Amino acid sequence: MSAPALYDPYRVCPSRQLLDRIGDRWTVLIIGTLEDGPLRFSQISRLIDGISQKMLTQTLRSLEADGLVVRTVYPEVPPHVEYELSALGRTLLEPLEILRAWAVDHMDEVATARAAALG
């Protein structure tokens, strides 16, 4: 790193970081499950069919590091860990809902266009 990068996408606009955050395959799904309250690791795992435990752990850790999710460990045997949205994380729910609404309203048009593009 002799010189600063001429092009650092993370400095172009702050929304780039957000898009990286929510663009991955699991983040939004996990946030969705936590919308109604705290859940345990195994509960999230069961709610999101198809997620590997590696990716669940990894994404939860990342969400925690970003301050979007709070992780609470109850010192019991067997272990009991709960995850819940932080105040910051909850502020993200509304933008995501708006995005979801757009998808519900327009993704059939996208699907139609895509199908037409093939024919």
Partner DNA sequence: CAGGATCCTGGCGGATACTG
Partner DNA sequence: CAGTATCCGCCAGGATCCTG
Residue 97's alpha-carbon distances to 56, 86, 93, in angstroms, are 22, 17, 6
3-class DSSP assignment, residue 40: strand
Which option in a copy of itself, DNA, none does residue 2 bind, with CB closer than 5 to 8 A by kind?
none
- Which 18-57 residues touch DNA, going by CB under 7 A? 24-26, 40-43, 50-55, 57
- DSSP H helical segments within 14-85, as ranges? 14-23, 27-33, 41-47, 53-65
Q: Is 119 helix (H, G, I), strand (E, B) or coil?
A: coil
Q: How far is the CB of 10 from a copy of itself (least distance, A)?
A: 10
Among 81, 84, 86, 90, the residue binding DNA under the rule CB under 7 A is 81
Residue 53 Cβ vs DNA, minimum distance, rounded to whole Å = 5
Residue 74 belongs to what H/E stretch? strand 69-74
Give the one entry of DNA, a copy of itself, none that residue 72 binds, where binding means its C-beta sits below a cut-off of 5 to 8 angstroms depending on kind. none
Q: Would you count residue 98 as binding a copy of itself (CB under 8 A)?
A: yes
The Cα 67–Cα 81 span in angstroms is: 17
Residue with smaller CB distance to DNA, 6 or 105? 6
Task: Give the largest Cα separation in the chain, rounded.
Answer: 60
Q: Where on the chain is the footprint of a copy of itself (CB under 8 A)?
A: 6-7, 9, 12-25, 28-29, 49-50, 64-68, 88, 91-92, 95-96, 98-104, 106-107, 109-110, 112-114, 116-117
